[in-house]
Structure 1
Amino acid sequence: MNEITFTLAEYNLAGCSNVDIATALVTSKPMLILLHGWQDNAATFASLWPRLIQDYDVVAFDWPGHGKSDHKSADNYYHFFDYIDDLHQVIVQLKREKVHIIGHSLGAIVAGCYAAIFPENVDKIVLIEGLSPLTEPPHMIVERLRMGIVSRQRYRHQHLRLKQRSMATFTDALTLRASVNRLPVSLLEAVVQRATIERDGRWYWRHDPRLRCDSLYRMAQQHAQTLLNSIQAPVLSIIGDNGYVDLRKTEASDWGINNFTQVMVSGGHHCHLQSSNDVYRHIRTFIPT
C-alpha cells in the first residue's frame, strides 16, 4: 500500500492505496473504501491489506484529526455529520461509478449513513462492530448541550498541556494503547506507528485532543431509524463474540434494513484485528470479484 493524499475543501486527508488515485485509472477490480473508528487510523486495517489488494482496489484514509491527516482549524471541532461530508469528497474524487465501503465502529456508522444518503454511489457495505448512529431521548438535549460546551471549555484550559504530553519510547506508546484497548501489542503496532510522531527523542500522539470533546448533539432514535430504513445497499454486519452486545440483531427486520446479514467472529470491538482471516473470508464471500 502506498501513501496517498486527498485534498478536500478545508484540509488534507492522508491515506494508503494500492492504486494511483491521481490518474483516475479504472480497473476491473471492485473498489473498497476502508473507514476506521474513533481515535484509530487507516492502519487498523493493515492486517487485511495483503489479502484485500489481491482481489480489490483498496483505499484507506485517516479521518481529520487522526493519524497523518490534518487537524481541523483552531475555530472548529469534530461533528459526526462532517465525517459524512469528508467521505463524500473522497468518493467524488475517485470517479468510480460505485464503491464498496467497509467501516469499523465510527467508520461503520458513517458508512451506513452515507449509503442511505447517496445510494447511487454505493454497491455494498460491510459494518464491523458498528451500525446505528448513537441516539438519545429528546429530553436529553439540554444536558447534552451543557456537556458539550463544558467539555470544550475544559479543552481550552488544558490544550497546551495536552499538546505537550509525550512518552519516552515508542514501546511506551504501544504499551499504553494496548492497555486501553485490552489487546496484544502485536495487533496494534501498525496503528500506533501511524498514530505517533518522534520529536527530539520523545514520542507524541498525532491525534487532535479536541476529538475527546463531547458531542453537542445526538440524534433521536426516530432520526437514526429513518437513516437505517433508507439504506438500499446490501449490508454485512460483522460483530465480535465479545463485542458490543447491542449490535447482536441478526434479522433485517430488527434494524429496519432491507438487505441485512450478520455474522459473528472471535474477538471484541476490534475483532477485525483479532480475527483478520475470518473477517477477510466474510468480506470475500460478500463482495465477489
Structure 2
Amino acid sequence: MADTNNIAALSFELDSLTLSAITCGNKNQQPVLCLHGYLDNAASFLPLMQEIVQQKTQKSDLLSDKYVIALDWPGHGHSDHRSVGAHYHFFDYVSDLVALFALNNWPAIDIVAHSMGAMVASAFAAAFPEKVKSLTLIDSFGFICAPAEQTTKQLRQGILSRVKSVKPTRTFSEDIAVKARLHVSDLKVDHAKLIVQRSLIEVKDQSGNISAVGEASVLYRWRSDPRLRTVSLYRLSQEQGQQLFSDIKCPLQLIYGDKGMDMVATGLAHFSSCVSHLTTNKLTGGHHVHMEQTEELVHLLSNFFSEIQTSV
C-alpha cells in the first residue's frame, strides 16, 4: 500500500455548511472531482489515490497533471450535516456542486463519480454542461426512476420515514461496525474498514473521556446524519430521467463491475440511447469496483482524459 502522507485533508466553506475532502496531486494543476455513493464517503477513493501516489513514486504516474479531490457529501464522512429542518433531497446535492464550483471558480473539469454520486453528477452535467469537461460513472448508469402512478405512495412512505427517523444512541466497536457494513454490501474487509473508519466518531463519557469496552476497545457511533436513511419523497419518471440524460453533452465513460449492481444493465437499456458519446468498460469486480481495480482504473481514466485532450 502506498504512503498516505501524500494524501491530504481539505475543507470547503460554503454559505450554510462545511464540506470535507481528501486530495492528492499538485493543487496548482487541474482538479478531478471524485464523488462517492450513498452512505459511503471520500475514503472510497483512497485506494485510487494510493495507486496514483504509488505510480508517481515509481515515476510511472499517468495522472501527474491532475489534482484529485474526493469529496464528502453533506451528512457523510467529515462534512457537516444539513441544518435542523432540512432534508437530503436528490437535487440539493446538485445545488451543493454549483456552490462548490462557484467557491473555487472552477472551469469545466473532469468528474469521476460512483453510485449515488454518479446520478448526482449526471444531473449536474445535464443542467450545467459548461462546468463538466468529462464524466466517468462507476457502477451506475441513469437514475432510479418510478412510474408516475406510484407518486402518492412514494410521498406517503417518504413522509412517514421522516417521522420514524431518530438520532442513534447505540454505541459499538469498530469491528462490529465493519461487520455491519460487510453484511449489507459486497465490500472486501480492507475496503469496508476504510469507509467505516471515516464514518465513525468516538463516544466520550460525561467526564470527556473516551468510552471503552474492557481495556482496549473504543466505542463509536455513526458520524453520518440519520436523516440520510429516510425515504425520498419523489422519484423521477423514466421520461424525466431520459430527458436529463439526453442533455449530457460531455464525453461520458461508464466503468462497471461484472458482479456489480443490476441497475447498470437496466440503466444501459433505458438510457444509453439518449447519449451518443459513451464509452463502456466492464471490469472484474463488484459495486465498489473502483476500490478493487485501482491500477486498471488509473489507466482507463488516463486514456479517457488523454483522448479528450487530443480531440480538443
TM, length-normalised to structure 1: 0.90
Distance 2:188 2:35 in 1: 22
Q: CA deviation at 1:93?
A: 2.2
Question: 2:100 aligns to what?
Answer: 90
Are the counterparts in 2 of residues 68 and 194 from structure 1 also a CA contact under 8 Å?
yes
Distance 1:130 1:59 in 2: 20
- Offset from partner CA, 1:144-167 (integer Å, 9 cap, x none): 111001111111xxx14x2x1210
- What is the correspondence of 1:6-155 to structure 2 with a 5 Å cutoff? 6-18=12-24, 26-27=28-29, 30-52=30-52, 54=56, 55=63, 56-155=66-165
Deviates more, 1:254-263 or 1:223-232: 254-263
Q: CA deviation at 1:220?
A: 0.9
> 1:41 is matched by which residue type in structure 2?
N
Are the counterparts in 2 of residues 42 and 61 from structure 1 also a CA contact under 8 Å?
yes
Are the counterparts in 2 of residues 66 and 207 from structure 1 also a CA contact under 8 Å?
yes
Distance 2:201 2:263 in 1: 36
Does 2:170 align with 1:165? yes
Match of 2:276 among 258, 266, 270: 258
Deviates more, 1:66-75 or 1:86-95: 86-95
Are the counterparts in 2 of residues 250 and 262 from structure 1 also a CA contact under 8 Å?
no
For the pair shown, which has the larger CA radius of gyration, 1 or 2? Answer: 2
Q: Which sections of structure 2, spanning at least 5 residues, go unmatched?
A: 1-6, 57-62, 204-210, 213-218
> 1:131 is matched by which residue type in structure 2?
F
The root-mean-square deviation of aligned C-alpha atoms, in Å, is: 2.0
Identity of aligned residues (%): 33
Does 2:207 align with 1:186? no
Match of 1:177 among 156, 173, 181: 181
Secondary structure of 1:273's partner?
Answer: helix
Question: 2:9 aligns to what?
Answer: 3
Deviates more, 1:171-180 or 1:224-233: 171-180
Are the counterparts in 1 of residues 141 and 268 from structure 2 also a CA contact under 8 Å?
no
Length, aligned pairs only? 277
Question: 2:261 aligns to what?
Answer: 244
Does 2:206 align with 1:206? no
Q: CA deviation at 1:183?
A: 2.5
Q: 1:52 to 1:114 in 2, by over 3 A?
A: farther
Secondary structure of 2:202's partner?
Answer: strand
> 2:301 is matched by which residue type in structure 1?
I
Distance 2:108 2:189 in 1: 36
> 1:209 is matched by which residue type in structure 2?
P
Distance 2:276 2:182 in 1: 37
Are the counterparts in 2 of residues 251 and 261 from structure 1 also a CA contact under 8 Å?
no
Q: 1:74 to 1:124 in 2, by over 3 A?
A: same
Runs of 4+ that moved beyond 4 A: 249-253
Q: Which sections of structure 1, spanning at least 5 residues, go unmatched?
A: none
- Offset from partner CA, 1:174-198 (integer Å, 9 cap, x none): 2221222132211222211111111
- Offset from partner CA, 1:195-216 (integer Å, 9 cap, x none): 1111223111101111110000
